[in-house]
């Protein structure tokens, strides 16, 4: 029977070298590792005698109990060994100290458990946080207006206004991120002509609305104070604009001032009339306004991401419409963006979809109904329902069978 040969242990290397007293003390790290893993009894013995393994190996290598050289060539124990040793020493002492300190000395003779929470200390909760932060004087005012614009011509006008204002800011050399710093006021861009150019867009300002006026309208109302203070962040400006007492939706102060300067002798009634209809252009309906513009402005490029972002931001602020990323990315021109904004909603019912199909609606032999055709409808078609209804009424019977009052009357 053939015996299985037992592979030589790595510890044998050590033993052979120790006994043979070879002059070379070299031993690879792998062999050292193997040796330590097999010599468990020796490790235990080494622990008991508090002789480190390396020291023992050194002794074995040199063959004497006192090998030459320093006991520890690296100048003391390692950091880990030091900390471990310190912890071993300190642990029992600390534990004793903690036990002494934690010993309570309560007087339980007068203790009564509480049956209600009155008088108990409250832990956690918001206390007056809601009253301080959400009181009616500090209502949350979001970026988007609450009322969403639905008219397509109105949306078109808002988009054009956003484009004109963005390029006006760009012309003025101001950062485009301030496009929505001020709450939207009166539209000054109605008479501004805009057309695509190599640099983006070319603006032609009119006498009523110059570049300065538009830029002025885009700066927040508290601009002077902030410039005096200096270096106020944009968010602070926004907050200040939101909390200002001026109604952001009707900041007609600038126009009123100019009107008053031009005609200081006017009576108050005339001023009031001016306020009601500030601009003759505003009397135009939006569809007339959109039709009066040259459609070339729709070809303005939105390739510049900074311009595109500013236009999107201002459009959302003006209209309240949310523009998804899927519509922002492919929009290369204003026209593409407008196509998304004024896209009619998907019909929810099949009838709405069929009514949009003229080739189907114009057929003489096709009739489409939005509601279920009931038996009463069939009676009505042949003129029978009036007779049936009359007979039912005479007999005091329910006409439709669905109305509660008829049932009550019948019973």
- Binding segment for another protein (CB under 8 A), chosen from 65-73, 174-182, 225-233, 363-371, is 363-371
Binding mask 370-389 for another protein (x = CB under 8 A): xxxx----------------
Q: Are 305 and 311 in contact (CB under 8 A)?
A: no
How far is residue 179's CA from residue 200's CA, in Å, rounded to a whole number?
17
Q: Verify binding: residue 357, another protein, rule CB under 8 A.
A: yes
In whole angstroms, the minimum distance from the beta carbon of 229 to another protein comes to 55
For 203, phi then psi, to 5°, come to -110, 140
- Asked if 351 is part of the footprint of another protein (rule: CB under 8 A), the reply reads yes
Please report how close the Cβ of residue 351 comes to another protein at its closest, in angstroms: 7
As given in the structure block, the two tokens for residue 269 are 């009634």
Which lies closer to another protein via its Cβ, residue 271 or residue 354? Answer: 354
**339 is an interface residue for another protein by CB under 8 A:** no
Q: Is 231 helix (H, G, I), strand (E, B) or coil?
A: coil
Residues 130-159 that bind another protein (CB under 8 A): none
Nearer to another protein, 63 or 347 (CB): 347
Q: Is the dihedral of CA 298, 290, 157, 348 positive or negative?
A: negative
Question: What's the min distance (Å) between Cβ of 353 and another protein?
Answer: 6
Does residue 365 touch another protein according to CB under 8 A? yes
Q: Which is nearer to another protein, 138 or 357 (CB)?
A: 357
Facing residues of 194 across strands?
Answer: 203
Q: Identify which range of 9-17, 35-43, 267-275, 344-352 contacts another protein by CB under 8 A.
A: 344-352
Q: Is 289 helix (H, G, I), strand (E, B) or coil?
A: helix
Chain Cα centroid distance, residue 374: 50
- From 303, 301, 323, 320, select the one nearest 312 (Cα to Cα): 323
Q: How far is the CB of 357 from another protein (least distance, A)?
A: 7
- Gap between the Cα atoms of 405 and 250, Å rounded: 52
Sign of CA dihedral 181, 183, 189, 194: positive
Q: Could you tell me the CA-to-CA distances from 215 to 25, 221, 361 in Å, in that order?
A: 86, 12, 52
Single out the residue of 137, 369, 375, 396 in contact with another protein (rule: CB under 8 A). Answer: 369
Residue 363 CB, nearest approach to another protein (Å): 5
Minimum Å distance from CB 324 to another protein?
17
List the beta bridge partners of residue 196: 201
**Structure tokens belonging to residue 391:** 């007979």
Q: Which of 275/384 has CB closer to another protein? A: 384
Considering the complex, state which of residue 150 and residue 381 has its C-beta at the smaller distance from another protein: 381
Distance CA 234, CA 37 (A): 67
Report the interface residues with another protein, using CB under 8 A: 349-351, 353-354, 357, 359-360, 363-373
């Amino acid at each position: 029977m053939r015996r299985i040969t037992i592979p030589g242990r790595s510890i044998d290397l050590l033993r052979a070298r120790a006994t043979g007293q070879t002059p070379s003390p070299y031993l690879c790290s792998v062999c050292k590792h193997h040796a330590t893993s097999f010599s468990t009894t020796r490790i235990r013995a080494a622990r008991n005698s508090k002789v480190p393994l390396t020291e023992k190996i050194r002794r074995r290598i040199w063959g004497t109990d006192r090998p030459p050289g320093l006991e520890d060539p690296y100048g003391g124990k390692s950091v880990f060994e030091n900390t471990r040793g310190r912890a071993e020493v300190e642990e029992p002492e600390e534990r004793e100290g903690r036990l002494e300190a934690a010993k309570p000395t309560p007087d339980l003779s007068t203790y009564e458990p509480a049956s209600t929470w009155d008088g108990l200390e409250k832990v956690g909760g918001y206390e007056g946080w809601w009253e301080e932060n959400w009181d009616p004087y500090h209502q949350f005012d979001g970026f988007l207006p609450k009322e969403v614009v639905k008219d397509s011509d109105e949306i078109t006008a808002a988009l054009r206004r956003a484009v004109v204002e963005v390029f006006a800011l760009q012309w003025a050399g101001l950062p485009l991120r301030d496009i929505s710093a001020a709450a939207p006021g009166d539209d000054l861009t109605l008479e501004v002509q805009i057309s695509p150019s190599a640099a983006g867009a070319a603006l032609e300002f009119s006498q009523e609305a110059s570049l300065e006026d538009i830029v002025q309208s885009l700066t927040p109302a508290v601009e002077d104070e902030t410039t005096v203070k200096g270096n106020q962040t944009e968010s602070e400006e926004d907050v200040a604009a939101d909390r200002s007492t001026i109604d952001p939706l009707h900041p007609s102060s600038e126009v009123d001032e100019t009107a008053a300067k031009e005609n200081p002798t006017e009576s108050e009634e005339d001023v009031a009339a001016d306020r009601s209809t500030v601009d003759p252009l505003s009397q135009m309906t939006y569809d007339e306004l959109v039709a009066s513009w040259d459609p070339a402005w729709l070809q303005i490029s939105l390739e510049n991401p900074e311009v595109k972002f500013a236009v999107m931001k201002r459009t959302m602020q003006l209209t309240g419409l949310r523009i998804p990323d899927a519509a922002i990315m492919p929009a290369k021109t204003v026209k593409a963006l407008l196509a998304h904004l004024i896209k009619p909603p998907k019909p929810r019912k099949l009838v709405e979809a069929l009514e949009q199909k003229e080739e189907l609606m114009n057929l003489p032999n096709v009739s489409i109904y939005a509601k279920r055709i009931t038996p009463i409808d069939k009676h009505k078609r042949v003129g029978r329902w009036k007779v049936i209804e009359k007979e039912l009424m005479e007999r005091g019977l329910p006409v439709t069978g669905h109305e509660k009052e008829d049932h009550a009357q019948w019973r």
